[in-house]
Amino acid sequence: MNALWLFLAVLGAPALHAPVLTWDLLRPLKRPLDGGATFRGRRVFGDNKTWRGALCMTVGVVLATLLLWQWGWWREQIPEEVSRSSPLLVGLLIGLGTVGGELPNSFLKRQLDVAPGQRRHGRGGVALAVLDQGDLVLGIWVALLPIWVMPVWLAAIAFAAVSAIHMAINVVGYAVGARTAPV
C-alpha cells in the first residue's frame, strides 16, 4: 500500500502547467496533439490536448520526482524496483504515463460527441467522469512496466484513491472560482 506514495509525483504536473495556462506561456506549443486530425468525422483528442500541456505536465512530474527523490522517507515508501532505478527515468515514465493516460478518455469523449470540459448525462456520463479523474493511473501503470509491474489490486486502489482526491480538488477549485464546474 505504501506504493501509493509514488503517485505524489503527479502533483508536479498541475504545479507547472497551471501557471503556464494562467499566463499563456509557451504559446508556440499551444497546438493540438492530434494536429486537427479526425476519426469518423470527429476530432481525435480535441484542442485541449496540446503539445504545451504534454510537455509541461511531463516536465512538472519529472521535477517533482527529482525533488521527492531527495526525501529519503519517500524513496523508502515506493517499490524497491522503482527506487533502484534512476530518478530521471522514473519521473519521465510517470510523466509520460500521466499525459498518455488522459488520451484514451479524450478520444472516447470526442467520439461520443462530448465537448471538452463537458459531461455526458446518465450512467455513461458518470462512468466517463470517474474515468476522467483516475485515467492517469492506468497510463502510469503501463508506463512503469519496464521497471515495475504494479499488481492489479494496487492499481485498482490507486485508481480509486486518485479519483477521489482529484474530484475533491476539483470541487475546491470550483468553490474558489478556478473551475467552471465542480467535477
Domain locations along the chain: 2-175
What nine digits make up the cell of 81?
524496483
pLDDT confidence band for 92 (50 / 70 / 90): very high
Dist. CA 38–CA 117, nearest whole Å: 19
Contact, 132 vs 75, CB < 8 A?
no
Residue at 151: amino acid letter: P
At residue 18, what is the residue type?
Answer: A
pLDDT for 139 equals 97
Long-range contacts of 170-175 (CB under 8 A, 24+ apart): 170/133
Q: State how far the Cα of 161 lies from the Cα of 93, in Å rounded to an integer.
A: 20
State percent of the chain over pLDDT 90: 77
pLDDT for residue 20: 95
pLDDT band at 118 (very low <50, low <70, confident <90, very high): confident
Does an H or E element contain 158, and which? helix 152-175
> Which pLDDT band holds residue 125 (cuts at 50, 70, 90)?
confident
The better pLDDT of the pair 96, 2 is held by 96
- Distance (Å, rounded) from C-alpha 74 to C-alpha 111? 40
For residue range 3-15, list pLDDT tens digits in order.
Answer: 899 999 999 999 9
93 φ/ψ angles, rounded to the nearest 5 degrees: -65, -45
- Quick check: 23 and 17 in contact, CB under 8 A? no
pLDDT at 127 over 90: no
Alpha-carbon 153 to chain mean position: 20
DSSP assignment of 41-65 equals: TEESS-TTSBHHHHHHHHHHHHHHH
- As a whole number of angstroms, the distance between CA 113 and CA 169 comes to 26
pLDDT tens, 45-68? Answer: 999 999 999 999 999 999 999 999
Q: What is the pLDDT of residues 25-37, one digit of tens each?
A: 999 999 999 999 9
pTM here is 0.93
Query: Is the confidence at residue 158, as pLDDT, over 90?
Result: yes
